[in-house]
Amino acid sequence: MHWYEKLNQYFPIEEMKSKEHMEILLKERGDIYHKDEGPNHVLIYVEFDKFVFVDYLFVSKNTRGQGRGHQLIDKLKSKGKPIILEVEPINYEDTDTEKRLKFYAREGFEHATSIGYRRRSLATNEVNNMEILYWSPTHESEEMIYEGMVKTYRLIHKYKDEEIYGEPFDPVHEVLSLEEEEKDDILKK
């Protein structure tokens, strides 16, 4: 099965970039946008000078629990930079959301409780609340994580968005916010 189909079957439509968008990023932004693919996994990530952003991490059901996800995260941790990723909040009708959060908690990730993230899907036109998780070997502040998300949103999520989708994603100031009042920590529940 093609790597995009693996991702498309696992991730909700509102979280997926189009195949065209991802292929353009891999071709035109190949200096920072990377794909690590195997028979039972797909890892799409962005590597900037000061941090790594995980765009998609998929491990096939038949190999979950065998350490493949841990190995992929360790490979990213070995770069010695903070790792940032987006996750959907727990959906009790989808047991995978809770399993994902438990996996990232075991891997030492923290919940960026001061970052608000509301992204409108161009596929469904629905606004989705997402959460930001991060791991940092240098105990970076949430302000640095926020700046990393702003950079990722501008340079990756919005890359040629209007050309590819026929309309732009919302501007960054409408999507990401740094809040004074922190939310509940979803990894501590």
The per-residue pLDDT for range 176-189, each reduced to its tens digit, is 999 877 778 878 76
Phi, psi of 165 (to 5 degrees): -100, -10
Determine contact, residues 54/72, Cβ cutoff 8 Å: no
Query: Distance between CA atoms of 46 and 33, rounded to whole angstroms?
Result: 5
**What is the pLDDT confidence band of residue 38, given thresholds at 50, 70 and 90?**
very high
What is the average per-residue pLDDT within 83-99? Answer: 75
| Distance between CA atoms of residues 23 and 18, nearest Å | 9
Give the separation between CA 136 and CA 50, rounded to whole angstroms.
Answer: 11
The model's pTM is: 0.93
Q: What average pLDDT score do residues 14-30 get?
A: 95
Question: Which CATH architecture is the domain 3-178 placed in?
Answer: 3-Layer(aba) Sandwich (3.40)
Mean pLDDT estimate for the chain: 91
